[in-house]
Amino acid sequence: MLHQIEGSKAMARTIALCRPQVVCAYPITPQTHIVEGVGDLIRLGELGNCEFINVESEFAALSVAIGASAAGARAYTATASQGLLFMAEAVYNAAGLGLPIVMTLGNRAIGAPINIWNDHSDAMALRESGWIQLFAESNQEAADLHIVAFRLAEELSVPTMVCVDGFILTHAVERIDIPDQAAVDAFLPPYEPMQSLDPADPISIGAMVGPDAFTEVRYLQYFKQHSALTLIEKLAVEFEQRFGREAGGLLRTYEAEDAATLVVAMGSINGTIKDVIDEMRAEGVAIGLVTLIAFRPFPADALRQALERARNVVVIDRAVDVGMGGPLASNVAIALRELPDPPAMHSAIVGLGGRPTPKASLHRLFRQAAIHPWEGPHFLDLNERVAARELHRRGKTRRVGPAAEGILKELEKERVEKLAERTS
């Protein structure tokens, strides 16, 4: 049924339809409305056989979820930003124990400086923890991905994060189709844990192990993630058949068939990128988009197949590995190196801490990628300002500001000339 509703509340209703048995949470912006919504449904008796547990911290929230899941309950929690970092030890423990917990991550920047706005710093910080990570493009997909996430987590016994851009999605009010209980029940069967603690048959879990066993546990996590590549695709097909719309999958493409330049991005920024692509297509520019939904496991084969015919690939990161570049770009580069004639790859870092990403800047970025070689990551609207200020300092231009295609070309010309001087 269609509802005009805030994204967080739509997610709360959908999560309740998945019949969690234990929900534990500690409030941190921007995920608070989600667990408040689930809590209201439990309080009103609309979600039976479920216990809502208030805890004293994010670490406690996931610790309670670990205990509940280990005891055989369907467990759910949510967090964001520093909250995810505070529970980092428990995040790794949940994965190492193979517990199918589902957690919503309301993506938000990590301080310092303190910032409550959206980027992907939090998800990237814990990307190697062993959790599946699915990124939602829209609020409709954010709600739907939770249904998929519970099924995926429980079939593989792997914890799963649904990553939802904070404020941009969580607090946006829009029309969202929330399914009925019967439809969700048909897709998501009652939880049957692969393992559970039983006082009548006591065992110890999470005990200390030696190097050999530890390596085997990590290999098992790797194996499950690799298995998830096939299952994610299978569940996406089944979801579309049952609900009549797309949700999940490894990736999806937009205007990619004849594209000379392909953009790769995750999350809500894909909506803006599609608008820019439509405008550039109207001007005759052959450009398209690959929206990545699964970041862990990373769909290297599917991505390689989607990108192999492009001449240029522009990777949009909403986070930065300080000292390295864009984390998504690093993963895309690994995938592309298997191609015999890989496209030129360009790394762009945008929207850190919620910094605006204007369409005009994306237009400039995508055009620049096709004509100008890049060295390292490009910070949207920042590289241009630095270049302009540098030329202004040298007295070569009176204007300081963005829109610097010409300025960047002049700096590149200077760099090439200096290189030629050194090698002559």
Q: pLDDT value at position 415?
A: 55
**Chain-centroid distance, C-alpha 210:** 33
Q: pLDDT value at position 381?
A: 87
Q: pLDDT value at position 401?
A: 44
Distance CA 319, CA 20 (A): 32
Q: pLDDT value at position 376?
A: 82
Q: pLDDT value at position 280?
A: 97
Q: pLDDT value at position 63?
A: 98
Nearest to 83 by CA among 29, 24, 11: 29
Kind plus residue range of the DSSP H or E element containing 346? strand 344-349
Spell out the per-residue pLDDT of the chain, length 424, in tens.
999 999 999 999 999 999 999 999 999 999 999 999 999 999 999 998 999 999 999 999 999 999 999 999 999 999 999 999 999 999 999 999 999 999 999 999 999 999 999 999 999 999 999 999 999 999 999 999 999 999 999 999 999 999 999 999 999 999 999 999 999 999 999 999 988 998 999 988 888 999 999 999 999 999 999 999 999 999 999 999 999 999 999 999 999 999 999 999 999 999 999 999 999 999 999 999 999 999 999 999 999 999 999 999 999 999 999 999 999 999 999 999 999 999 999 999 999 999 999 999 999 999 988 887 677 899 998 876 665 566 556 665 444 444 445 555 555 566 556 656 655 5
Entry pTM: 0.91
Distance CA 59, CA 67 (A): 12
Query: Looking at the DSSP assignment, which residues form a beta bridge with residue 296?
Result: 133
Half-sphere exposure of 421 (CA within 13 A, CB side): 6
Q: pLDDT value at position 194?
A: 87
Q: Confirm if 135 and 295 have CB atoms less than 8 A apart.
A: yes
* DSSP class per residue in 227-281: HHHHHHHHHHHHHHHHHSS---SSEEEES-TT-SEEEEE-STHHHHHHHHHHHHH
Distance CA 296, CA 241 (A): 24
Helix, strand, or coil (residue 337):
coil
Q: pLDDT value at position 205?
A: 87
Nearest to 310 by CA among 288, 337, 277, 294: 288
Helix and strand tally (H, E) in the chain? Answer: 15, 15
Helix, strand, or coil (residue 3):
strand
